[in-house]
Amino acid sequence: MEKIKITKSETSKSKPTTDQLEFGRVFTDHMFIMDYSTEKGWHDPRIIPYQPLTLDPASIIFHYGQTVFEGLKAYLTPDEKVKLFRPEKNMKRLNRSNDRLCIPAIDETLALEAITTLVGLDKDWVPSAEGTSLYIRPFVIATEPYLGVAPSQNYQFIIILSPVGAYYKEGINPVKIAVENKFVRAVSGGTGEAKTAGNYASSLKAQELVADKGYAQVLWLDGVEKKYVEEVGSMNVFFKIDGEVITPALNGSILEGVTRSSVIDLLKHWNYPVSERRISMEEVFEAAKNGKLEEAFGSGTAAVISPIGELSWHGKNIEVNGGRTGKVAKQLYTTLTGIQTGKQADPFNWTINIE
């Protein structure tokens, strides 16, 4: 494994105060970068001062979107240690996304070392207030200047870090969701299970249209029949119906969230009946009508757990749990954030301490 070369920044930028923290607007002093060429493979892993990139305008990334990304967080524990939550799962997923986009695989051990070294160097940037964290964004871009539609011969793997504020500033609150009946996020055989830019670019229109009507996010249905639930915004989704906790089974168009896997493991550990299966909007609506829709919530790194208080579907409104956060959602949120920040025991060994 090639050694990571470090060039430290001579100055340090000023850090945002707790109330200035947003999501993804401010970046730390350093970044990681590594190059790929067909002759040399992945080479020259290095940490350098955070800076703009210089790219040829013909770079494949700008035209055909050959790119993938990841998202995870570093958390400060009460005794000022820095923890990562299941980062090896993000590195595995990065390579699954790479494979789907014809991007050469990255050594997962090196990628993880890049993250821990970079976060270690910028660890003063991990904010300490309740609910805050340091967001880690690894990504790969195709840099070959070529207008032909073909896999690039050159890439860069880059990692940047951003201190982020608490997702729930006024406590965890259920949101209103519109079920999307026109646009789809992904289709069977498409790129839905890869974290690649095109999926997000294509989701903007639907999101913009429902935001105008006061909804926080859209609920995505399957791209063929538009009957079965897939995801909510850029989160995985769970329903609790008559005691059973259900999440859509991975079908090739759903992104396999690290939070989703952790929620499933915790629910099994607590002896809740959990199913990964197909679930239609019809089933959700019928359950709500019969008073059996007990909870609904999204899961993802940014919010951890995001309860759904109301669903709008073909002009019908479905209220969930009287618009209040459910017991299971609350228990999952408290436990996951407790484990991530080292405030609770970590029975599954999900976290790693960096230095």
Ligand X SMILES: *Cc1c(COP(=O)(O)O)cnc(C)c1O
Residues forming contacts to ligand X in the complex (CB under 6 A) are 71, 195, 231, 234-236, 255, 257-260, 299-301
Closest residue to ligand X: CB criterion: 257
Nearer to ligand X, 256 or 283 (CB): 256
Among residues 215, 217, 219, 269, the alpha carbon closest in space to that of 245 is found at 269
> Dihedrals φ, ψ of 223, to 5°?
-80, 0
**Minimum separation from the CB atom of position 164 to ligand X (A):** 13
Nearer to ligand X, 223 or 257 (CB): 257
Nearer to ligand X, 217 or 234 (CB): 234
**Minimum separation from the CB atom of position 298 to ligand X (A):** 8
**3 CB-contact burial (10 Å; exposed 0-12 / middle 13-18 / buried 19+):** exposed
Single-letter code of the amino acid located at 66: Q
DSSP H helices in the chain: 60-64, 87-100, 108-121, 197-201, 204-211, 258-269, 281-289, 327-340
What is the rounded CA–CA span in Å between residue 36 and residue 18? 38
Nearer to ligand X, 287 or 332 (CB): 332
Nearer to ligand X, 83 or 260 (CB): 260
**Minimum separation from the CB atom of position 113 to ligand X (A):** 20
**Minimum separation from the CB atom of position 347 to ligand X (A):** 19
Among residues 273, 209, 18, 208, the alpha carbon closest in space to that of 127 is found at 18
Does residue 19 sit in helix, strand or coil?
Answer: helix
Nearer to ligand X, 30 or 195 (CB): 195
Strand 244-248 relative to strand 274-277, pairing: parallel
Among residues 181, 189, 206, 203, the alpha carbon closest in space to that of 282 is found at 181
**Minimum separation from the CB atom of position 305 to ligand X (A):** 10
Which tokens sit at 278? 């197909």
Query: Are the C-beta atoms of 34 and 48 separated by less than 8 Å?
Result: no
**Minimum separation from the CB atom of position 354 to ligand X (A):** 19
Nearer to ligand X, 47 or 308 (CB): 308
**300 CB-contact burial (10 Å; exposed 0-12 / middle 13-18 / buried 19+):** buried
Nearer to ligand X, 70 or 294 (CB): 70
Strand 41-49 relative to strand 82-85, pairing: unpaired
Helix, strand and coil content of the chain, in percent to the nearest 5, comes to 25, 30, 45
**Minimum separation from the CB atom of position 258 to ligand X (A):** 4
**Minimum separation from the CB atom of position 254 to ligand X (A):** 7
